[in-house]
Structure 1
């Protein structure tokens, strides 16, 4: 059944991620043993119980911290004054890392699955305990909006309604945790509404687990998903500690940006323990956090300008890789090419008068005559005197 497939996929992702979980030194649990964090769930089976607090804690700083240059970024911005909506499975309001900074719509303050809380932590978790695991924008606020049912099953209508309500409730950035195969009409309209209110939408370019095909096997064909395929939505794909995607990851079709999304450590809906997960939905959460940093640091920028900064300041690669610090500090060209100044009409001076030229010629000619006459006189006068002015014989 589908929920069993999601459960197995999450367990495999967690097992594959453990060797690269953290940077040196390796993470340890409170009892000193190496950490084996529980895997993040994507969906819940009918007989599954709600997520409980993890008893395992990653004490060393995850690899994502350095990859995103968070220490340098926090010297400029921590997301103060910005609200990021998490349209997903809900966000647990009992999580210490988000304490006092979560506003929930309806029942979205309860997260039985844990995925929405994990994503919210990647966006905005504040340091707790030894402070190893933090979000990208640890001072931002979270608006929890439900985009799935209580067991994590999404629908296009729930997501579209969630986007609209998040915009109406004052979100500056909207993170969508789902990649949907259908629902283009309602999602396109919801994204257009967000754009009209200057709200940036960030979404995964592909699901975290490949959908099941008609033959019951994972369908690994590359395809476009909603809402990431909509223009003006910032679509994001994941990569891991080695800079590549894990084997068997769902193909990503034309993502805008890549961000850390594999072997990622995050919080649960309650307690101070940690989970581990992988997928493009987690990469999108990191991008949403980076957008919050920029909107806080440069509040006059529009949503489109924030998106442009994230894209043009990214590390160049086959898919540009998110660089939060560069997004804050890069000096980009103006939004459009400078208009060329209209050429002034050429000024042609009037033709010079011939009078000065004629006068100059006359004066010059006269002077020449005088010189010739004087020269002739200097020759003729002495000869005339010597001859007594007699005519030549």
Structure 2
């Protein structure tokens, strides 16, 4: 178990920026469209290199165990284009969500469940999972408390096992709170972006951490993004607290049309990777409840200021439908303080490891030294 944990930690360490694919020429996927802006068209560029996010998550060895079969993930976003080749046949749309003018919802769905394509190393986190496309915005990508709540309710009614929510709202509402509670009661795991996708990097004055919704609601797994260096993007908005971190800056994905690729950034993309990881866990261990899946993902994450998702560790840590013994059921989100909770977690791990060594030494003393002392009737050896 210790060897597997060390291997998992090594694979989930941050990938250097030099390891990121040369994909800067890819078109940027928008999260919303301005008035008069045309719908996002196909990209004529394809990313053939292995994306840094996929490499950092160690997905290749996780796929040898599970690819998300039998799990349905709802995407509450701008819709999911049903005719995209790498998702074709695995997308069910609610209402008009089968078309995606913005393209962001399709991009997120691809990060969760896009299948492999010839000559391309990119694939979704759970490439065998099914997708439910749900509108959580209007056709231009504008979201409100009512639109996100309606999306959550539609996802629950469609039978989603995992629900990814891309919008992060500055206001909380009773309608949204009720929709979250209903999803939790139906054993659907909600994974939400902890901050809006627009990082406002042009601002020279950092904004103080604050809550965004529905990520800050009880029972929701809130996610922030990190880049190829393992840090938050410069100038990014900060939530008051977060449960997990995942790749979300300069990640490669699919568009709403054609076979080309786009590049995108934001916490919603990080939420997509966590939602895909949740699908892998629910596929491997269908007896786990949504809350147990959430606890498994956080308990097995790589220690950092905000723990980084580790899909392989999460999938392999559960035995017989039970949580690992070192999981922390009911643990709250990580407060984003300067102290660094990840460092304290590492210190605690070292203390526990030292304690284990001490126990082993005491056992050895009892097995060897005590019998010899009794044989000499506890007299010194030279007497």
TM bucket, shorter chain: 0.7 to 0.9
- TM-score, normalised relative to structure 1: 0.75
Residue from 17, 25, 32 that aligns with 1:36: 25
Q: How does 1:166-181 map to 2 (within 5 A)?
A: 166-181=155-170
Residue from 230, 251, 275 that aligns with 1:264: 251
Change (3 A) 1:326 1:281: same
Task: Give 1 or 2 for the bigger CA radius of gyration.
Answer: 1
Shift of 1:336: 8.4
- Alpha-carbon separation, structure 1, partners of 2:81 and 2:205: 31
Aligned counterpart, 1:229: 216
- Alpha-carbon separation, structure 2, partners of 1:336 and 1:253: 21
Shift of 1:131: 2.9
Shift of 1:335: 7.3
Whether 1:311 aligns to 2:303 is: no
* 2:241 partner SS: coil
- Whether the 8 Å contact between 1:95 and 1:269 is mirrored in structure 2 is yes
Shift of 1:220: 2.5
Residue from 81, 104, 109 that aligns with 1:92: 81
**Residue range with higher mean Cα deviation, 136-145 or 248-257:** 248-257
- Whether the 8 Å contact between 2:188 and 2:290 is mirrored in structure 1 is yes
Aligned counterpart, 2:59: 70
- Alpha-carbon separation, structure 2, partners of 1:101 and 1:291: 18
- Whether the 8 Å contact between 1:101 and 1:140 is mirrored in structure 2 is yes
Gaps of 5+ in 1: 1-18, 28-33, 338-393
- Measured against aligned partners, the alpha-carbon deviations of 1:120-173 in whole angstroms (never above 9, x if no partner) come to 000000011313111000000000000000000001111111111111111000
Shift of 1:238: 0.2
- Measured against aligned partners, the alpha-carbon deviations of 1:330-382 in whole angstroms (never above 9, x if no partner) come to 25118789xxxxxxxxxxxxxxxxxxxxxxxxxxxxxxxxxxxxxxxxxxxxx
* 2:245 partner SS: strand
Q: How does 1:1-393 map to 2 (within 5 A)?
A: 20=17, 23=20, 26-27=21-22, 36-210=25-199, 220-331=207-318, 332-333=324-325
- Alpha-carbon separation, structure 1, partners of 2:141 and 2:236: 20
Count of aligned pairs: 309
Aligned counterpart, 1:352: none
Gaps of 5+ in 2: 1-15, 319-323, 330-383
- Alpha-carbon separation, structure 1, partners of 2:177 and 2:297: 22
State the 4+ residue runs in structure 1 displaced beyond 6 angstroms: 216-219, 334-337
* 2:32 partner SS: coil
* 1:96 partner SS: coil
- Whether the 8 Å contact between 2:225 and 2:245 is mirrored in structure 1 is yes
CA RMSD of aligned residues (A): 2.2
- Whether the 8 Å contact between 1:21 and 1:62 is mirrored in structure 2 is no
Shift of 1:92: 0.9
**Residue range with higher mean Cα deviation, 234-243 or 164-173:** 164-173
- Alpha-carbon separation, structure 2, partners of 1:334 and 1:327: 12
* 2:211 partner SS: coil
- Whether the 8 Å contact between 1:124 and 1:136 is mirrored in structure 2 is yes
